[in-house]
Amino acid sequence: MFFFRRYATYKRFNGNTSSSSYNYLQVLTSRKVAYFAAGSIGFYVYNLHEAPYTHRKRFIWIPYSLEEKAGDYSYQQIKEQYQHQILPPSHPLYRRISSIMNKLLDVALTGENSEVPNAQLQHLRNLKWEINVVASEKDPPNAFILPNGKIFIFSSIIPICQDDNGLATVLSHELSHQLAQHSSEQLSYKPIYTLLSILLCTITGVPAVRELLTLGFSLPASREMESEADRIGCELMARACFNPESSIGFWQRMSQVEAQAGKSWEGLNQWLSTHPATSKRIHDIQSWMPELNSIRDSAGCNHYYDFQQGVRNFFKY
Ligand SMILES: [Zn+2]
């Protein structure tokens, strides 16, 4: 999810501090500003939606079309950057990943999911899903799904996944970010952070305001998003007959790789910076296991059940 986090820098404002503070005060207390503030609060409250599982209130106003456009823009850039490293659909790794992803998409989009609004499920069903496996041993392990349904997975994450359950952990987690509308949420807050930081930066003259805002609001929200993606992802794994308990091993290995790599892999650190501590993540998954085991049992996951039957192919190959 690194593609939305690009920080702008602002130049310090060197005006006459006392008179400019007075002018700002006049502007801030004017009637027009009061109307604008009241309208903004109304717009904010009207667009508050409940997040799945944690049930926290979050602000989402970005229409699907704009979200897809943002996805298309990132897609063009990433595709251009890695165009010579994308594996063909005939490659065994592509086939393995598409088989797992088909199972996860099948349970996520065609099954019952009371926590995800119907409009969101319908929107995701209509996307043109695509898998891009990037052969890249030197790049940090990474995987993400753009809001237009384009999946990117770097081959450097495969050894950490170890097996299909590990791959299902990564893919279900990333798919869950889309089910929980986390891209829309990030995009919805972005103009607010930008406006607030420009305003506060201009008033206070402190260029680091933007970073403080990010630390104060954005990171804690991201950590809640991570927990939601973990919970939904584990449930998808159980419903698609993978073993959600094996995701504990994946997160432990990921954390070890991060510790070994230190600061040399900036991208990896960025990917993990908003992720919850591994110990909390493992504790959460263990506490969900009794419920996840019963979900897996009700999905009929046994030796005689062939999940492949009836699974729709979401990809054109
Ligand atoms: Zn995540």
Of 4-18, 41-55, 204-218, the range with the lowest mean pLDDT is 4-18
Q: What's the chain's average pLDDT?
A: 81
Percent above pLDDT 90 for the chain? 43
- Predicted confidence (pLDDT) at residue 201 exceeds the cutoff of 90: no
Q: Evaluate whether residue 307 is within a structural domain.
A: no
Banded model confidence at residue 5, pLDDT cuts 50, 70, 90: very low
Specify the pLDDT at position 9.
34
CA of 18 to the centre of ligand 1 (A): 45
More confident residue, 7 or 275: 275
- What pLDDT, in 10s, does the model give residues 179-193? 999 988 888 877 777
More confident residue, 252 or 207: 252
pLDDT (0 to 100) of residue 179: 93
Q: 105 CA to middle of ligand 1, Å?
A: 17
Residue 285 pLDDT > 90, yes or no? yes
Average pLDDT on 76-91 reads 95
Range of the domain at 87: 57-186+219-298
**Rounded distance, CA 104 to CA 150, Å?**
15
- Residues lining ion ligand 1 (Cβ < 5 A) are 226, 229
CA dihedral for 214, 217, 219, 225, sign (positive or negative): negative
Instruction: Name the one residue in this structure whose structure tokens are 């609001």.
Output: 217
124 is a domain residue: yes
Q: What is the number of other CB atoms lying within 10 angstroms of the CB of residue 134?
A: 22
Residue 51: count other Cβ atoms within 10 Å of its Cβ.
Answer: 20
101-110, 137-146, 171-180, 297-306: segment of lowest average pLDDT: 297-306
Our count of domains for the chain comes to 1
Position 267 pLDDT exceeds 60: no
Position 15 scores a pLDDT of 45
> Looking at the domain assignment, is residue 192 inside a domain?
no
The predicted pLDDT at position 11 comes to 38
pLDDT average, residue stretch 122-149: 93
Q: Is residue 2 part of a domain?
A: no
CA distances from 72 to 15, 201, 240, 290, 293 (A): 41, 31, 29, 40, 38
- Give domain status of residue 16, yes or no: no
CA of 204 to the centre of ligand 1 (A): 34
* Residue 303: pLDDT band with limits 50, 70, 90: low
- CA of 86 from ligand 1 middle (Å) equals 22
217-247 per-position pLDDT tens digit: 555 568 888 999 999 999 999 999 999 999 9
Averaged over 1-9, what is the pLDDT?
A: 36
The larger pLDDT score, comparing residue 188 to residue 162, is at 162
Which token pair is 214?
């990010």
Averaged pLDDT for residues 252-262: 84
Is position 33 within any domain?
no
**How far is the first Cα of the chain from the last one, in angstroms, to the nearest whole number?**
26
Tell me what pLDDT residue 37 has. Answer: 79
Of 10-19, 53-62, 107-116, 125-134, least confident by mean pLDDT is 10-19
Of residues 54 and 290, the one with the higher pLDDT is 290
Contact 267, 140 (CB under 8 A): yes
**Gap from CA of 226 to ligand 1 centroid (Å):** 5
Q: Is 78 in contact with 148 (CB distance < 8 Å)? A: no
Structural domain contains residue 177: yes
Mean pLDDT of 4-15: 38
Task: State the pLDDT at residue 217.
Answer: 56
Q: Is the pLDDT of residue 32 over 60?
A: yes
Q: Which residue has the higher pLDDT, 250 or 44?
A: 250
CA 205 to ligand 1 centroid distance, Å: 34
Q: Is 68 part of any domain? A: yes
Please tell me the predicted confidence (pLDDT) of residue 248: 95
Residue 160 scores a pLDDT above 90:
yes
Q: What is the Å distance from ligand 1's center to 208 Cα? A: 26
What positions carry a catalytic annotation? Answer: 174
